[in-house]
Copies of this chain bind each other. A is one copy, B any other.
Amino acid sequence: MPPAPIVPVLDLTADSVAITRAICDIPSVSGDETLLADLVEQALAGASHLEVIRDGDTVVARTNLGRERRVVIAGHLDTVPINENLPTRFETVDGVEYLWGRGTVDMKAGVAVQLKLALELTDPVVDLTWMWYDNEEVAASLNGLGRLAGSRPDLFTGDFAILGEPSNGQVEGGCNGTLRAEVRATGLRAHSARSWVGENAIHKLAPALARLAEHEAETVEVDGLAYREGLNAVLVSGGIAANVIPDEAVLTVNYRFAPSRNVAEASEVVREFFDGFDVTVTDSAEGARPGLDAPLAQQFVRAVGAEARPKYGWTDVARFSALGIPAVNFGPGDPLKAHADDERVATSQIRHTEIALRDWLTGATA
């Protein structure tokens, strides 16, 4: 008789730190989320208060209690590639206990809290739509939340959305937009032994780099939050051989812009900044206003006792924002540790997030 295969089972009645550990130790690098999505689906399948919907490797679970308001709470299942940082382990630094390993911050601790509460909260004060999705860490075209918004727009109804992205247990509102552009200089090729016959395209990038080096990015206040922008060269390339005067040089810049501007306005900022150069916008994503003027958002911030801060990085809150649903990031973990090889989350932040979210959703802090 063959040995019984080991079938992992996800126990969502466990402690949220234990759930975090369990789902981190099931690797789910983007594109490889099926096993974890299966376990999530199975763990919730028996809950009579939830309607469970599976779409690819995205799992949606929602209550249909006829509440006045509906809150969407979402998190992605995937992580960036593992770099010898799995399985997880506990470590204590300066008296603080951390769970160390890939995914602990971005964002399985947040997902663990959500999963635990999804099963536990049979009678929340608002109707809930939980979404756990695939492929957040890769090309936008693969994003599970984006796919679902296209195929099942009916699931995207709600008065408020919470994304569990790491925010140190604070509420981070909205997000900066992002735009990538190529700044191109052209010249005339020549043999480098007779450089005066040509025109050096790399040299022509000098004023573009000088402007960037001198530039001080703006900080823009939007709905009471200060969004710090950034305009940076991220790639540069030019030249075809070590004995040829280059006829083309390309600087790729990334503009992170406050959500008070849209992509068209941000593109104009970049074109003006690089006046005199050939500028091509190659990629962009709108930002999201913090949405903290929505009553439910204000009540949430008060209830979880958090300070509202701006989110600098682009996150999927922008998708909800685009659908007219005010959305914030609220999750355990320091965003600066996301994607880091020493990614680790303070276990106290996991517990804090769990308690704050439970209290709000059960009306204890309403």
Contacts and interface: CB of A to CB of B under 8 A. Distances in A.
A239 B252 CA distance: 9
A178 interface: yes
Interface in A168-195: 176, 178, 180, 191-195
Interface residues of A, number: 50
Contact of A193 (B230, B245, B246, B283): B230
B243 A200 contact: no
Nearest to A193: B313
A209 interface: yes
Nearest to A235: B239
Contacts of A339: 191
Interface in A234-293: 234-239, 241-246, 249, 251-252, 254, 256, 283
A196 B283 CA distance: 22
* Majority secondary structure of chain A interface residues (helix, strand, loop or mixed): mixed
A202 B193 contact: no
A203 B195 contact: no
Interface stretch (A65-73, A84-92, A95-103, A210-218): A210-218
A233 B239 contact: yes
A200 B212 contact: yes
A339 B246 CA distance: 16
A197 interface: yes
A156 interface: no
A217 B195 contact: yes
Contacts of A244: 234
Contacts of A195: 217, 230, 232, 256
A336 interface: yes
A37 B202 CA distance: 41
Contacts of A236: 202, 205, 236-239, 246, 249
A309 interface: no
B205 A209 contact: yes
Given A254-B192, A256-B195, A234 B245 contact: yes
Given A254-B243, A256-B193, A206 B203 contact: no
22 contacts: A180-B242, A192-B230, A192-B234, A194-B230, A194-B312, A194-B313, A194-B336, A195-B232, A200-B212, A202-B235, A203-B233, A205-B236, A206-B206, A206-B210, A209-B209, A232-B245, A234-B239, A234-B241, A235-B239, A235-B242, A236-B246, A239-B252
